[in-house]
Structure 1
Amino acid sequence: MKIHNPFRVALLATLGVGVGLLLIGSVQNLSTILLYVGTALFLSLGLDPVVSFLERRGLPRWAAVLVTILAVLGVFAGIIFMVVPIIVSQIAQLISQVEQLLQPGRWNEIVTQVQQWVSDSLPWLKIDDVWAGIQHWFTTLDVGSISTVIGNSLLTGAGAVAAGLGGAFIVLILTIYFTASTPSLKSAVYQLVPASKRARFIELAEKITDSVGYYVMGQVSLGVINGVLSAIFLTIINAPFPAVLAVIAFFFSLIPLVGTLTGSTIIVLTCLIPGLGTPGWAIIAAAIYYLVYMQIEAYVISPRIMNRAVSVPGSVVVISALAGGALLNLLGALIAIPVAASILIIYREVIIPRQNER
């Protein structure tokens, strides 16, 4: 191919690369805002089945949205007012127990016992030399620099908490707006599709949004079930800090694939902390309970709750969760499975039929 004006071609190519870099930089600068918008859309799709259910019972759209939002806010407000004081008091008790555990006399006693056990069981580790090196390293630390690092870490943590609360408020406002205007947003998107293909596009889009909504509601339901049952069981066996551990069970159950396993492991390990006074039988009971619960959740509870969402093969679940976590951290892991389910719908409803027609 003969280039008649190389300068013009080079100029256009340079401008194209510049525009591409500008777009990439803009997306990076707006990543936080895009994250808020994506989270709000995800949550609004999760609330849409509830709104649709109320609409089918005769409520107008605005009343169904208002009832749904007020119910969600009421539930969270009730959880905060009922659970937070208990959690604060139990965290204070946990800190007190840790402080007692780290007192010089108690700590030296535990360290001596561990050191003696390791020396008797694993003499080749030369634990005495290792411990002497650790003690020497601690004696050479600058207390002032440690205090500075701790102070900076506390300030950074406080800033992160403040930013998280601000982000949560923004997401809440966007979720309310998206939930109220879901039909108009869908209609605006549908108008971009040619009229000849619009009906098919609407059918697929409705299947995808319904699948995402049922997935979100199902995952929240699993978290509520795990949290409530954990609170009841941990209270019965007199486990330490049952309210805190129940909240851990709830939030970890929201994470697909490994959330329940991770939360259960944290709860059992917390019961193992020395000095908390957890009976040995209670630790064994907690371990057995969560082993049984994970099996019941995987084979009984989850299939019944998720039966209206699109089933995703296990290998796709693992790959999508890993990819989503790598791209968008925890949020990516949460939305990866419904995104994978949406891709599977397109694959089954569009690609395979077209291939079969050829």
Structure 2
Amino acid sequence: MGGQEPRADAEGRAATGRGSRRADLRSLRVAIVYILLAVAAYQVSGWLFHHIRDFLGMLFLAWLASVTIEPVVDRLERTGMRRGLGTGLVLFGTIVFAIGFIAIFGALLAEQLAQLLGALPDALTRVTDWANRKFGTDFATGKDLINITPETVRDLAEKYTPGVLGVVSTLVGVIFQAATVLLFVFYMSAQGPQLRRTISSWFPARQQKVIASVWEISVDKAGGYVVSRVILAAFSAVATGIFFLIIGVPYWLPLAIWTGVVSQFIPTLGTYLAIGLPAVIAAAAQPLDAVWVILFGTAYQQIENYILHPRITSRTVSIHPAVAFGSVIVGASLFGAIGALVSVPVVAVIQAIVETYGHRYELVQEVDGGPDRAAGSDDDDENRDGE
């Protein structure tokens, strides 16, 4: 009996070891399966995002447009008009305004824009030659910098200009995308309250209040940001166009639109890019006009910063220029031009939500009182030296 007990213990330990190894093998197989599933999910997600990226961009653009017109639609709804009819009326008015602008200024804009593109290489050359003569520099000429010749333009036109079928297909694609965006804008605005109630119904009462608050913040901040930027761009374009027309800057209409749009919708660098191109074009015709253009741009920027901007953007969130610039880069890398357009309003919404629900703590003395603490440390050192 004494010899059987150790043998039984050994067999039990062996069975336990085999069971442990089998469990380890099962765990290893399960882990491998999970890893393979995770890799497959990652690959499928990347493939799916790559193929629906354009659609997601249009969806973001439609959401941005819907929250932009939301205040106007709400005001029409409070007057007794049905929400769908109010949304359709706002969209119809926007389309009529765009068609009217194109009908009035379209031919002039297209003509001046074509002339501007054709005159840009010569303008850069004249400005470069003038700078070399005036300051004794040896910069390359504008044609060398951008390397554009009539032959290059002709080759590029032959290479990238599509045939009749390509033009028709491109036009059909643009019309389809515009119709898609307008359709989503209409439904997102007309059925916004129903959509919010549908989403809220999937959550308990406490989360429903949070969803309602986030929705209101999104409409207020994103819509307010876009409206304020459009108003500021309109002010800038009108004022710049009038000034350019008075002093005789060529191609005043496309340059004014360029200044208004670029200065408001490109963070940080937009102000300098907006006035840089008109200054170059003005300098090519008359160098003194470039000085007037720069002086006007500087003066208008001060008026906008201290008078127009605080009044128009008082209800919108303030975004740090570095954050806005970074968001544009990220949005452009993810969704192209549409991503660059909607990135700043999306960041504005995120920042407003964080500021609403986030909690900030008071800084401790060691962090907040750097100079005072350093002065106190010097006093302590002097006291110790005196002792």
Please indicate the TM-score interval, normalised by the length of the shorter structure.
Answer: 0.7 to 0.9
Counterpart Cα distance in 1 of 2:279 and 2:317 = 33
Counterpart Cα distance in 1 of 2:132 and 2:57 = 52
Which residue number corresponds to residue 270 of structure 2? 259
User: How many residue pairs are counted as aligned between the two chains?
Assistant: 329
Counterpart Cα distance in 1 of 2:154 and 2:239 = 42
Cα distance change on mapping 1:342 and 1:263 into 2, 3 Å = same
Which residue number corresponds to residue 174 of structure 1? 184
Secondary structure of the residue aligned to 1:308 is: coil
> Are 1:72 and 2:94 counterparts?
yes
Which residue number corresponds to residue 224 of structure 1? 234
Secondary structure of the residue aligned to 1:192 is: coil
Secondary structure of the residue aligned to 2:359 is: helix
| Superposed CA offset, 1:309-349 (max 9, x none) | 12334443344344434444443343333323322233232
| Superposed CA offset, 1:113-139 (max 9, x none) | 779959x946xx7x9xx99xx9xxx9x
Question: Considering only aligned residues, what root-mean-square deviation do their CA atoms show, in Å?
Answer: 3.8
Counterpart Cα distance in 2 of 1:24 and 1:268 = 44
| Superposed CA offset, 1:124-171 (max 9, x none) | x7x9xx99xx9xxx9xxxx8x996554112339969964555533432
Q: Is the 8 A contact 1:222 1:253 kept in 2?
A: no
> What one-letter code is carried by the residue in structure 2 that aligns with 1:247?
I
Deviation at 1:41, TM superposition (A): 0.9
| Superposed CA offset, 1:23-48 (max 9, x none) | 22111111111111111111111111
Deviation at 1:73, TM superposition (A): 0.8
Candidates 271, 275, 282, aligned match of 1:271: 282
Which residue number corresponds to residue 83 of structure 1? 105
Give 5+ residue unaligned stretches, structure 2: 1-19, 363-387
> What one-letter code is carried by the residue in structure 1 that aligns with 2:55?
I
> What one-letter code is carried by the residue in structure 2 that aligns with 1:220?
V
TM-score normalised to structure 2 length: 0.72
Q: Is the 8 A contact 1:39 1:171 kept in 2?
A: yes
Which residue number corresponds to residue 39 of structure 1? 61
> Are 1:53 and 2:63 counterparts?
no
> What one-letter code is carried by the residue in structure 1 that aligns with 2:68?
G
Deviation at 1:197, TM superposition (A): 2.3
Percent pairwise identity: 22
Write out aligned runs for 1:20-39 (5 A).
Answer: 20-39=42-61
Secondary structure of the residue aligned to 2:250 is: coil
Q: Is the 8 A contact 2:120 2:281 kept in 1?
A: no
Deviation at 1:67, TM superposition (A): 2.0
Counterpart Cα distance in 1 of 2:105 and 2:131 = 40
Which residue number corresponds to residue 301 of structure 2? 294
Write out aligned runs for 1:3-22 (5 A).
Answer: 3=24, 5=26, 6-22=28-44
Which residue number corresponds to residue 344 of structure 1? 351
Counterpart Cα distance in 1 of 2:119 and 2:341 = 34
Cα distance change on mapping 1:92 and 1:42 into 2, 3 Å = closer
Give 5+ residue unaligned stretches, structure 1: none
